[in-house]
Chains A and B, each alone.
Chain A
Amino acid sequence: MQYVTRESAFHRLHPLTKLIFAIVVVALAVLTADTMMLTVLAAGVVAVAIASGLARDLLRQVPLLISLAVSLLILTVLTIRSGETLCYLIPPSVPVIGGALPVTVGAIDLAVAMSLRFAAMLFAFQLLVISTQPRDLVHLLDRLRMPVDYTLMFLIALRFIPSLQLEAKRIHEAQLARAYNPGKGVAGKVRGLFPIIIPLVSNTLGKATVLGLTIDLRGYRSGKRTPMRELSPGRADYAGICCMGVAAVGYLAVLIL
């Protein structure tokens, strides 16, 4: 998840508008567990992405969302029994343990709601990140009086995730060249991680010192900053905030009524 250079309508919005958008979506998502409402919310975020030409970037998160949804489904089915029973993981005809793991409507509902909630929040946050230069985000968070350490932490997390992925890929390639073969079974898989994880962690820790020094030497802790670009909200921002307001009020009205 990283800033994408493009000329989309969403890119042109003021960072504050986009931040408000993300916060509103997160707030609306946690207010309800109703699958219909959450579907509307997630679809709304996707619609904004499509209108801005950023839908393809959002698609990259789909594999993650699917694996999350499947894990949630397994978890809820194993732990929650509520509502009508649809079937049993172990058929009732099996002696002794038969009928022990019922699949209930409540468990499936909760898994679907959680997945939709997560999808809406992730998409909204991703829209903010891919359309806003980190520098503008830093200035915005600065203006909002967020402590500089937290702002930098946020920035570094954004910046170094792709670097870590790249480093992991490089290490993986280096081990593949030594005929590395991830083991079989759970124990084998865990053991198979060592040749990747150990160099990754050691190399990353080595970079941390240089990173901290660079931040200090560039004066990032001095607190006084003059943004090179002063962004001010335009008509599109006011229109966007109005639309968000109307949509949020409508959403809340449906929830309450």
Chain B
Amino acid sequence: MSPETALSLKDVSYTYPGSETPALKRINLTVAKGEIVFVTGPTGAGKTTLALAASGILYHDYGGTLKGQVSILGRNVRDYRDMSEIGRHLGVVFDDADAQLIFTTVEEEVASGLENLGLSRDEMRRRLQEVMESTGITALADRAPHTLSGGQKQRVAIAATLALGTEILILDEPTAELDTEATAAVSTVLQRLAREGTAVLVVEQKIGELAAIADRMIIIEDGTIVADGTPGQVMRNERAPSTPLTGNRRMIPRCSDASPIISVHGLVHRYDGIEAVAGIDFEVSPGEIVAVVGENGSGKTTLIKHFNGLLRPTDGSVIVAGLDAATTPISELARHVGLVFQNPDTMLFADTVEEEVAFGLENIYPGASGERIEAALHEVGLLHRRTVYPRSLSRGERQRLAIACVIAMKPDVIVLDEPTTGLDARESGRVMEILERLREEGHAIVMVTHDMRVGATCADRIVRLKQGKIVQDGETYQEDTCPRLCSMSPGRAPFTGSTLSPN
């Protein structure tokens, strides 16, 4: 083995405990010092399992059947005493940012690992300051983790791992919830670390900024590596996705004289004195797809929570289907507005898919027929899974189930918070097709996304928020947000949940 090899997997196969089919099949992969390797693939392809295998976690923590050899800095992971010993050389950023934040302030979080390294206090302070600045979290130093947004949590988790200064970094979906600015900041840090000799293995669904800085790109499908080369080579050879996000959308002319189903006038919402929404006027008409876009913390989620009464205006008015959303009970508004949360696991509790859909439906229409449940499941392509335990479904299927739960109630407006986060192109495409059909049926669709490109490719109208105010409301996105990678590929990226269009 070359002395420059930091990570190596030789013929690695792995089967999870209780499973019969292997999640990884004869994987061969090396990551050299100073190299950035980008791994991507569809949902459920084995990307996270690969990251867990490479970090020694599968061997030391998961059980299951691990075949082949995983080496970290030339030493077999079996020869390391435990994960604490591996942790001296290798840092891992997991995809669940919240679970990685142990302390009660951001500064403590980043400093926590430094205190275990035996450094001098001056060196600790220097590193702390440097890492916090480079990840853009200096202003959050005294904040408690639970008060941060998803993107901010992700940045803190990255900073806490970077501070350890390990020779190897493994990052699982590190930018899933980051906006373009924060992603660019993370890319810059990773590039610098690689120049200083750190080996970086990044696993991402979304092919974007991080793929553009990678030395090598690997595509994994069904537990097997199917492409390995420079990002340019891999992108050129890769086939186009079977279901592109834009689909074969029929543009339906909007009826300009249709009365709006949602009217927002002068909406202001303050949390603890901070104006999250600072005077918004906008309307949504039946039969249109509106994308509400903006950076992390721009007030998108605060805005949409007013549509079904989860938040009430501090000032201004929100009228939904003729009802004043400030005073109408949530249960009444739920008849008109369905809200699909970002993470479907927030709501799944029933024993079967069918019961899950029935829950909301029966809350509104007691004794509603099974036909409506069937129709909703058919709409999202889950009819054949009706008796399955919802939490055993794949991420994409769970997302579609969450949508089915809402569409069964036949609301006038369907609001989706980040509908494509964590989904690959195929699954994102399916979600978008469902939304298209719902629009054709006359539903108004409002989707919130921090990813401007989803809005740009899928919506009739884009409303862009910045610091709680609308800074743009139009039919196209007026700013070039396409990352550098666009220029690398003549076609569409294969697995991006937020299709990259070269245009």
User: Are A and B genuine complex partners?
Assistant: yes
Chain A residues close to B by CB (< 8 Å): 2-3, 5, 133-135, 155-156, 158-159, 162-163, 166, 170-171, 173-181, 194-195, 198-199, 202-203, 206-222, 224-228, 230
Question: In whole angstroms, what is the CA distance A180 to B331 when docked?
Answer: 7
Question: In whole angstroms, what is the CA distance A174 to B346 when docked?
Answer: 7
CB contacts (< 8 Å) of A181 on chain B: these are: 331, 363
The answer to whether B100 and A134 have CB atoms under 8 Å apart is no
CB contacts (< 8 Å) of A180 on chain B: these are: 359-360, 363
Q: Beta-carbon contacts of B158-185 to A below 8 Å, as 1s and 0s?
A: 0011001000000000000000000000
The answer to whether B349 and A198 have CB atoms under 8 Å apart is yes
- Label chain A's interface by main secondary structure: helix
Chain B residues close to A by CB (< 8 Å): 57, 61, 82-84, 86-88, 90-92, 94, 96, 98-105, 108, 111-121, 124-125, 128, 142, 144-146, 160-161, 164, 305, 308, 310, 330-331, 334-335, 337-339, 341, 345-349, 359-360, 363-364, 391, 405-406, 409
CB contacts (< 8 Å) of B305 on chain A: these are: 173
The answer to whether B102 and A210 have CB atoms under 8 Å apart is no
Tell me how far the C-beta of A253 lies from the nearest C-beta in chain B, rounded to whole angstroms.
39
- Which 10 residue pairs are nearest across A and B when measured between Cβ atoms? A178-B360, A219-B116, A207-B99, A179-B363, A217-B87, A198-B349, A210-B99, A216-B83, A179-B334, A218-B113
Tell me how far the C-beta of B278 lies from the nearest C-beta in chain A, rounded to whole angstroms.
22
Question: In whole angstroms, what is the CA distance A135 to B101 when docked?
Answer: 13
Question: In whole angstroms, what is the CA distance A194 to B349 when docked?
Answer: 7
| Among A174, A208, A226, residue most surrounded by chain B Cβ atoms (within 10 Å) | A174
- Contacting residue for B339 out of A177, A202, A209, A211, CB 8 A: A177
CB nearest to A161 among chain B residues? B146
The answer to whether A155 and B99 have CB atoms under 8 Å apart is no
Question: In whole angstroms, what is the CA distance A151 to B392 when docked?
Answer: 35
Please report the number of residue pairs spanning A and B whose Cβ atoms sit closer than 8 angstroms: 171
CB contacts (< 8 Å) of B87 on chain A: these are: 216-219
The answer to whether A216 and B82 have CB atoms under 8 Å apart is yes
Question: In whole angstroms, what is the CA distance A210 to B119 when docked?
Answer: 26
- Contacting residue for A177 out of B94, B121, B338, B348, CB 8 A: B338
CB contacts (< 8 Å) of A177 on chain B: these are: 308, 310, 330, 334, 337-339, 341
| Among A177, A212, A227, residue most surrounded by chain B Cβ atoms (within 10 Å) | A177
Tell me how far the C-beta of B86 lies from the nearest C-beta in chain A, rounded to whole angstroms.
7
Question: In whole angstroms, what is the CA distance A106 to B164 when docked?
Answer: 60
Question: In whole angstroms, what is the CA distance A218 to B112 when docked?
Answer: 8
Question: In whole angstroms, what is the CA distance A213 to B99 when docked?
Answer: 10
The answer to whether B102 and A159 have CB atoms under 8 Å apart is yes
CB contacts (< 8 Å) of B142 on chain A: these are: 5
The answer to whether A162 and B125 have CB atoms under 8 Å apart is no
- Contacting residue for B115 out of A3, A208, A228, CB 8 A: A228
CB contacts (< 8 Å) of B144 on chain A: these are: 2-3, 162
CB nearest to A221 among chain B residues? B84
CB contacts (< 8 Å) of B161 on chain A: these are: 217
The answer to whether A133 and B360 have CB atoms under 8 Å apart is no
Question: In whole angstroms, what is the CA distance A214 to B142 when docked?
Answer: 21
The answer to whether A178 and B363 have CB atoms under 8 Å apart is yes
A-B contact pairs, 30 of them (CB 8 A): A5-B105, A159-B103, A166-B146, A171-B346, A176-B310, A177-B330, A177-B337, A178-B360, A178-B363, A179-B331, A194-B349, A199-B346, A202-B391, A207-B98, A208-B99, A209-B61, A211-B99, A211-B100, A213-B83, A215-B102, A216-B82, A219-B84, A219-B87, A221-B84, A226-B115, A226-B118, A226-B120, A228-B114, A228-B128, A230-B121
- Contacting residue for A195 out of B100, B160, B341, B359, CB 8 A: B359
Tell me how far the C-beta of A74 lies from the nearest C-beta in chain B, rounded to whole angstroms.
32
CB nearest to A165 among chain B residues? B146
CB contacts (< 8 Å) of A202 on chain B: these are: 345, 391
CB nearest to A164 among chain B residues? B146
Question: In whole angstroms, what is the CA distance A2 to B344 when docked?
Answer: 29
Tell me how far the C-beta of A132 lies from the nearest C-beta in chain B, rounded to whole angstroms.
10
CB contacts (< 8 Å) of A230 on chain B: these are: 121
Question: In whole angstroms, what is the CA distance A228 to B118 when docked?
Answer: 10
CB contacts (< 8 Å) of B105 on chain A: these are: 3, 5, 133
The answer to whether A219 and B117 have CB atoms under 8 Å apart is yes
